[in-house]
Structure 1
Amino acid sequence: MTGFEGKTVVLTGAAGGIGRDLARAYAGRGAAVLLTDLSGEAGEALARELNEAGGSASFFPADLAQPEAAGLIMEAAVRTFGRIDILINNAGFGIWKPPLELSVDEWDAVLNVNLRGTFLCSREAAKVMKRQAQGGAIVNIASTRAAQSEPNSEAYAASKGGIVAITHALALSLGADRIRVNAISPGWIDNGKFGELRPEDHAQHPAGRVGRTADIARACFYLTDPDNDFVTGINLTVDGGMTRKMIYEE
């Protein structure tokens, strides 16, 4: 696995959870990282942390609910670092309400950020990558909820299913420009309370444990490694085997 020195990564949803640790992971491998999320201290603090550790990072506040945000993010990346090699579409949220109570505005809010935001960021990043001799790599963070659900998750599930579908569509549309597009579908990923989980939480996974953010970072490294230029259009499920496990209630 190579390092990412000389590469610029644009990371949406960078201020918390998986995004925060993806930023640390890429910075630790030598990449310059353009962090973007909603305006707030968390994003600024993360950029300071990475720079103080010897990395190269900048935070650009943006709200993907606004269609123009995608273009502004990519302009900021080019203005700051001169290029875009990797885009990680990680931003997303859910509204958990019964479908009979979910409003149209709530449905649109989830789909606009999660799915439309993924498309618009990919399109704007691709415009930059197309001008570069080496092309680039895009990774869309989907979810195992694209294939299985719990009640009251319709908008989130629809957005993640759409991300899986748009991934293979973009892979074909952008392949001629040497831009690879792949997705990752995480399962249960712990965001900092690993020690508080119950033994049965880990034991139910065929892999024997709940996932960690580092598992997603390693998957991103694989999909964005320039040497893996034969890998495009896939959805890599990282869930400890749970979507392959038959579950019956006793």
Structure 2
Amino acid sequence: MRGLAGKAILVTGSSTGIGFAMAERLVAEGCKVQIHGRDQAEVDAAVAKLGAATIGTIGDLAEPATAHAIVDATVKAFGRIDGLVNNAGIYPRGSIGTTTAAFFDHVFAINTRAPLLCAEAAIAAFRLQKSGGSIVTVGSINAWCGQADLTVYSMSKGALMTMTRNLADALGPERIRANQLNVGWTFTANEDATQQREGRKPGWQNELPAVFAPTGRIMQPEEIAAHTAFWLSDDSAPVSGQIYEAEQFPVIGRSRAQIS
């Protein structure tokens, strides 16, 4: 895609899953990529697989200082930062009847505060470079309403939509773009483990009803990675402030006949 080769990109939560697929795609596009995760062994394995165009750093995004630290590490390693992918997040189950203040604070610290702090640090770097830049934040289709057992998670992703539009509106004159991917149901090792823990049998991803997978299959991480690369690239410029549903069906306004 246009304008990606040589760019320095930080992808949070990129040692495994969708984040790793994003990093892999960006390396294939000629980018230099900062791999981030919480587990040293997973980060090391990702860097070893993706090669010399990557560096790795660990950090817990529940800690406010981590956001600036990983952006600083990207600039130190590559001399600059051109793009940020706010991918890291958690999705613990919890309904309104089981939510506690501590649970709320933990989910929002990682899913909402950390993307804001990462964006803050990246924007400061973009301004020092006088370069413009691109921020892609990974949300969820649950941001529009969400499941009954994902109340706080859905709220945390909904807040990101407002953040994305606000940043885009404020930063457009500086050529700093902000867009959001609201990702639908995607198969990863973590999602597989979650679904089996909740009672689904191995291979569940191949037997989804058409209401969830009208194309006959679940989405794959590399497909989400392709959309991410597009929104980081010049091919999507100068578009900013958009909430983009990466899903197999219309998320808003879907016919009740389709979901009943």
Q: Same fold (TM over 0.5)?
A: yes
2:165 match: secondary structure: helix
Q: Which residue of 1 aligns with 2:198?
A: none
Q: Which moved more, 1:196-205 or 1:131-140?
A: 196-205
The higher relative CO (CA closer than 8 Å, separation ≥ 6) is in: 2
**Which of 213, 234, 238 is the matching residue for 1:230?**
238
Find the aligned partners of 2:147 and 2:10 in 1 and give their Cα distance: 31
**Equivalences for residues 191-210 of structure 1 within 5 A:** 191=188, 196-197=203-204, 200-201=207-208, 203-204=210-211, 205-210=213-218
**Which of 171, 175, 183 is the matching residue for 1:178?**
175
Q: Which residue of 1 aligns with 2:33?
A: 33
Q: Which residue of 2 aligns with 1:45?
A: 45
Contact 1:50 1:56 in 2 (8 A): yes
Paired amino acid for 2:134? A
Q: What is the TM-score normalised by the length of structure 1?
A: 0.91
Find the aligned partners of 2:95 and 2:243 in 1 and give their Cα distance: 28
Q: After superposition, what is the alpha-carbon deviation per residue over 1:180-234, rounded to whole angstroms, capped at 9, x for unaligned?
A: 00000011111256x9245551633344432111221111122111243221000
After superposition, the Cα gap between the structure-2 partners of 1:39 and 1:210, relative to the gap in structure 1 and judged at 3 Å, is closer
Find the aligned partners of 2:240 and 2:110 in 1 and give their Cα distance: 24
Q: Which residue of 1 aligns with 2:75?
A: 78
Aligned sequence identity (%): 29
Paired amino acid for 2:98? E
Q: What is the TM-score normalised by the length of structure 2?
A: 0.88
**Equivalences for residues 11-160 of structure 1 within 5 A:** 11-51=11-51, 55-160=52-157
Superposition RMSD on alpha carbons, in Å?
1.9
2:23 match: secondary structure: helix
Paired amino acid for 1:246? S
After superposition, the Cα gap between the structure-2 partners of 1:82 and 1:152, relative to the gap in structure 1 and judged at 3 Å, is same
Q: Which residue of 1 aligns with 2:162?
A: 165
Q: Which residue of 2 aligns with 1:246?
A: 255
Contact 1:143 1:185 in 2 (8 A): yes
Q: How many pairs align?
A: 246
Contact 1:14 1:36 in 2 (8 A): yes
Structure 1 regions of 5+ residues with no counterpart? none
Contact 1:208 1:240 in 2 (8 A): no
Find the aligned partners of 1:130 and 1:217 in 2 and give their Cα distance: 27
1:30, distance to aligned residue in structure 2 (A) = 1.1
1:3, distance to aligned residue in structure 2 (A) = 6.0
Find the aligned partners of 1:235 and 1:34 in 2 and give their Cα distance: 24
Q: Confirm whether residue 218 of structure 1 aligns to residue 226 of structure 2.
A: yes
Find the aligned partners of 2:3 and 2:249 in 1 and give their Cα distance: 28
Structure 2 regions of 5+ residues with no counterpart? 193-201
